[in-house]
A and B are shown apart, each in its own frame.
Chain A
Amino acid sequence: MDTKIIFPEDRESLNLHETEESTAMDPQGQKDPNAFVFTKESLKKKIRPSEFLSEKLITGVAFLSIAIIVLIFFFVFREAFPIFTQKEKKSETQVTAVIPEKYGDTSSGNTVKPEQYGAETPTPENKEEGKTEIKNTGNVIKPERYGVPEDSIQESTGEEEYTGSEISQLTPAETFHLSSLFGKEWMPVSERPRYGLIPLIVGTLKVTLIAILFAAPLAILAALFSVAFAPHWLRETIKPAIEMLAGFPSVVIGFFALTIMATALQAVFGYETRLNAFVGGIAMALAAIPIIFTVTEDSMNAIPETYSEASLALGATRWQTAFFVVLPAATPGIFAAVLLGIGRIFGETMIALMATGNAALLSANPFESVRTLAATIGAEMAEVVFGDTHYSVLFLIGALLFVFTFALNAIAEFYVKGKLMKRFQGKLS
């Protein structure tokens, strides 16, 4: 019954013991001079200069990269800073000068002075909004719109300090006031510039939402298919093919969206504006899918095979295993993937410029044109006067993009670590 244990002492008698030679001894039994011996000399602390240097170098590079990121943010914000300081005073003095104007007075000096348009002023103006929520200004200003001659259409101002009379002949720099950043109009190059960021922010969020709603499920399910269902050869084909798309220039995607997708989608959904948030969103989803797919796929691949085996051995089908074991276990990775995707969409400029229509409209309708934050910088930065209010506001937008991305990451990190993990994976004791 009991097995016989062979102890080391017994090995000799069983003749299993090979004659062993100590490695430090040469055949004559003399000590090898190179052999390691425990002396105070051999164990003395050594200075390893190359190791020290490389360690410091790596530390230095790490700090440098962090410093660069901080400096970029600092620079962007510094350029945006002037709008918080001196410009305000000037505008206040101007405001007092124009004060005699009354609100709600629709019939007054009919001197209509057509505005001169800069090249990239948004063309499709918000007709409906202009009518509904305007504060009537004193003087009738010719609406910033081509081909609408009536004087009856009133300008919306967005904030109250400005009466917008053409008499005042204000220059853009002089009319700026901080609160105008919260205005509902973005018209930086009109005669009476308005820097309301709200339509830009809403537009960006709208496009991002559409894009991520489209991209995330597709990419995650594609990754799940690739990991859990696809045969080996197919997986080896899908992954590189999709990853190649990640390096696809966004200008090409934008071009494709502009020329082909916009027309096709319009034919299907039958909306009015050809280029709008929906088209832009779907085009940006194309850019985000490869990123989400790759990161998701990697995180799913990292899940031990034994998880799926355990599930299958319990009599789960393959899709049950994929959805209830693989997917939940990969949640943190999937979350990171979606965040990366959102970051990509958020900062996407070229596709936004080409496919969203670039009109800063404030509406919830996904089929209206929008203008995103990134596209605004991309379109206007080249033509702006250096040091101008417009210039500073554009940098402020840049800083906003930074802050948004950062906040998004922070919130998600907190949420994933806190709630979601607990929910899916149980409390950590």
Chain B
Amino acid sequence: MKELKIETRNLSFYYGNKLALNSVSFNMYANHVTALIGPSGCGKSTFLRTLNRMNDLIPGTRVDGEILIDGLNIYDKDIDVVNLRKKIGMVFQRSNPFAKSIYDNITYGPKINGIHKKEVLDEIVESSLKKAAIWEEVKDRLDHSALGLSGGQQQRLCIARALSVNPEILLMDEPASALDPISTGKIEELIFELKKTFTIIIVTHNMQQAARVSDYTAFFYMGEMVEYGKTKKIFTTPDKKQTEEYITGRFG
């Protein structure tokens, strides 16, 4: 029942000469949520951003090793980064809706993919907003600026925007770190819903959140993947001392 979706093999990442990820290898499964935890600067966000090659944008970086998605190495020379990113949605730490209307925020992705028919766009807007559980709140003001929404709404709008191009994988970089508990709860509910259709990788600083939403958890420390396994096991009987100390908050 578990379908292998993403596999990393000896993935190392360098900012200039500085080693940020050291030979990370593990598997992520389709329709499951994988949480990446670890202290700041441990490389978990870097790892997340290697999955859709966002790190390519930073000059002076280098990747070693392989990332296989559905058995295909995404760092292969023939891979078109633009098409790759269409398959892998991303939600950022700070909600970053464009300074456009709510409607235009959602249609941006489809439009750059060449969809211009009004009916199709309308449909995408409605279904994306519904999937992100924000449709009811904004359906009457689609022509209003997205910047007028609250923080939590903006973040769900960003999720809807990521879903508008029909990705298979959803990367979330601390999606709830700037939100209050109620908005966070809504996002977590949403993650539960979304994992039926998508493979979700989430970076979080919030232990409880990782415990609540993820099926698998990987603990990163100093650029290395220390421990990886079922979330329940990691949080109750971790194999490594470091993991336990981090989870109980005794080190960081």
Contact = CB atoms under 8 A, between A and B. Distances in A.
A115 interface: no
A75 interface: no
A5 B247 CA distance: 10
A309 B249 CA distance: 32
Given A314-B112, A314-B165, A328-B99, A427 B248 contact: no
Contacts of A317: 82, 112
A4 B52 CA distance: 35
Contacts of B108: 311, 314, 316, 324-325
Given A1-B235, A231-B59, A315 B141 contact: no
A316 B143 CA distance: 23
A4 B248 contact: yes
A6 B98 contact: no
A320 interface: yes
Contact of A329 (B89, B99, B143, B208): B99
Nearest to B57: A312
Nearest to A308: B57
Interface stretch (B11-19, B144-152, B178-186): B144-152
A425 B112 contact: no
Given A313-B52, A314-B165, A425 B211 contact: no
A306 B94 contact: yes
A306 B173 CA distance: 12
Residue with the greatest number of chain A CB neighbours at <10 A, chosen from B86, B108, B208: B108
Interface in B78-130: 82-90, 92, 94, 96, 98-104, 108-109, 111-113
B211 A1 contact: yes
Contacts of A307: 96, 98-99
Max chain B CB contacts within 10 Å: which of A6, A306, A314? A314
A304 interface: yes
Contact of B98 (A312, A325, A428): A325
A314 B85 contact: yes
A315 to B, nearest CB: 3
B162 interface: yes
Contacts of A231: 59
Interface residues of A, number: 33
Contacts of B96: 304, 306-307, 309-310
B112 A315 contact: yes
A3 interface: yes
Contacts of B148: 426, 428-429
A320 B82 CA distance: 11
A48 interface: no
A146 interface: no
A2 interface: yes
Interface string A314-336: 11110010001100110000000
A3 B249 contact: yes
A316 B211 contact: no
Contact of B109 (A6, A14, A314, A429): A314
B232 interface: yes
Contact of A426 (B102, B112, B113, B247): B102
B84, B112, B247 — most chain A CB neighbours (10 Å): B112
B144 A427 contact: yes
Interface in B131-174: 141, 143-148, 158, 161-162, 164-165
Nearest to B86: A315
Given A316-B112, A427-B145, A1 B52 contact: no
A46 interface: no
Contacts of B85: 312-315
A325 B250 CA distance: 44
B54 interface: yes
B90 A426 contact: no
Given A329-B99, A425-B100, A426-B104, A314 B86 contact: yes
A189 B2 CA distance: 94
A84 interface: no
Given A426-B144, A427-B145, A429-B148, A1 B158 contact: no
A309 to B, nearest CB: 7
A232 interface: yes
A282 B57 CA distance: 38
Contacts of A306: 92, 94, 96
B190 interface: no
B207 interface: yes
B235 A3 contact: yes
Given A310-B158, A428-B144, A1 B236 contact: yes
A6 B245 CA distance: 12
Interface in B24-53: 52
A313 B90 contact: yes
Nearest to A313: B90
A386 interface: no
A310 B161 contact: yes
Interface string A329-359: 1000000000000000000000000000000
Contacts of B113: 315
Contacts of B211: 1-3
A317 B83 CA distance: 9
B144 A429 contact: yes
B246 to A, nearest CB: 10
Contacts of A328: 98-100
A424 interface: yes
A309 B89 CA distance: 11
B89 A6 contact: no
Contacts of B94: 306
B201 to A, nearest CB: 13
Interface in A6-47: 6, 14, 16
Pick the 7 closest A-B CB pairs, nearest first: A426-B101, A315-B86, A426-B145, A306-B96, A313-B90, A314-B109, A429-B148
7 contacts: A310-B158, A314-B85, A315-B84, A315-B109, A426-B145, A427-B101, A428-B144
Given A312-B57, A325-B108, A426-B102, 20 more contacts: A3-B207, A3-B211, A3-B248, A231-B59, A232-B59, A307-B99, A313-B89, A315-B83, A315-B87, A316-B82, A316-B108, A317-B82, A324-B111, A328-B98, A329-B98, A329-B99, A424-B99, A424-B100, A425-B100, A429-B148
